[in-house]
Amino acid sequence: MSDPTDEQRPSYEAAREELVEVVRRLEAGGTSLEESLALWERGERLATICQEWLDGARERLDAVVAADEED
């Protein structure tokens, strides 16, 4: 599957909220193996999206700090 475009990519908060729900469902059990695997894969994608948002935020903060140090 290709990377989602910015229009399709959920916000950090939306991805995190959905990830919490995925984890809750997996921990609760009662799902078939196929559904559990689908949930796991969705959780992996959501975790990646969250990490990308956090990495982007860190890069922006580092750039601001570096610019302030140059002044």
Specify whether the CB–CB gap between 25 and 31 falls below 8 A: yes
* Whole-number pLDDT of residue 8: 87
pLDDT of residue 68: 86
Please tell me the predicted confidence (pLDDT) of residue 2. Answer: 46
CA 51 remoteness from chain centre: 5
Distance CA 18, CA 25 (A): 11
Domain residue spans in the chain?
A: 12-70
Q: What is the pLDDT along the chain (71 residues), one digit of tens a residue?
A: 445 455 689 999 999 999 999 999 999 999 999 999 999 999 999 999 999 999 999 999 999 999 888 87
pTM of the model: 0.79
Residue recorded with tokens 């695997």: 37
Q: For position 35, what pLDDT does the model report?
A: 97
